[in-house]
Amino acid sequence: MSTQKVAIVTGAARGIGAATARRLAEDGMAVAVLDLEAAACADVVDAITAAGGRAIAVGCDVADEDAVAAAVDQVTAELGAPTVLVNNAGVLRDNLLFKMSVPDWDTVMAVHLRGAFLMSRACQRHMLDAGWGRIVNLSSTSALGNRGQANYSAAKAGLQGFTKTLAVELGKFGVTVNAVAPGFVETDMTRATAERIGVPFDAFLDAMAQETAVKLAGQPDDIANAVSFFADERARYVSGQVLYVAGGPKA
């Protein structure tokens, strides 16, 4: 019987999620590449399998309880019981408070918070059965407050409280729960932000890099490396932590 660990990475069709899926595969895990549409995950799955890894594409709306249950069942049937979960799925619906609609608030809360709750609840039983597990939630420096992101900031701050509570509840079962909070990272999502505010992406990258201590914009692999640490056997004594991967100190 294989002892290969099975990981689920949500929002893994591109950006940070895709980099994380590839990195966990490099670490020797079988990876379920999960996103809203399975077809969008094909390139990531192909890259992992071409390198000799095991991966499947799974389509799932993480805010849908039945879809989450079906997705976790599919992963268990095709790869094995998942004991590593990376809650990365996220969306932006930025606006100033007086312009923010209720649907835009609800959508962000549903994907980030409800999604992380549903996925964690569905996977934790497999972790408890194994007596070992890793949950890594993707927060953000926006949790500290960011203009035009009342919904996103609240959701990312909520994930930090969620992380710390699950760490307390699940620790005695061999499960650690941590969060990675990226700063500015070069992704399709941040490219869309630049377009929304009418700034050329290269100029946007340079401006954001200059705000960091290291004068660099983050790359998806920078975040994937931090997730890899939390998902590793050697991180057994680290739980309930929020690691800011942001090119400098954060509160």
Question: What CA–CA distance (Å, rounded) separates 6 from 18?
Answer: 16
Closest CA to 117 of 137, 132, 133: 137
Question: What CA–CA distance (Å, rounded) separates 42 from 38?
Answer: 7
What is the full DSSP assignment across 179-193?
EEEE-SB-SHHHHHH
Active-site residue, from 7, 92, 122, 152:
152
C-alpha of 86 from chain center: 5
34 token code pair: 């999960």
Q: Return the half-sphere exposure (C-beta side, CA atoms, 13 A cut-off) of residue 159.
A: 38
248 token code pair: 């400098």
Name the DSSP letter for residue 33.
Answer: E
- Per the annotation, the verdict on 244 as an active-site residue is no
205 token code pair: 């990258």
Question: What CA–CA distance (Å, rounded) separates 68 from 123?
Answer: 10
φ, ψ dihedrals at 247, nearest 5°: 75, 15
Active site residues: 152
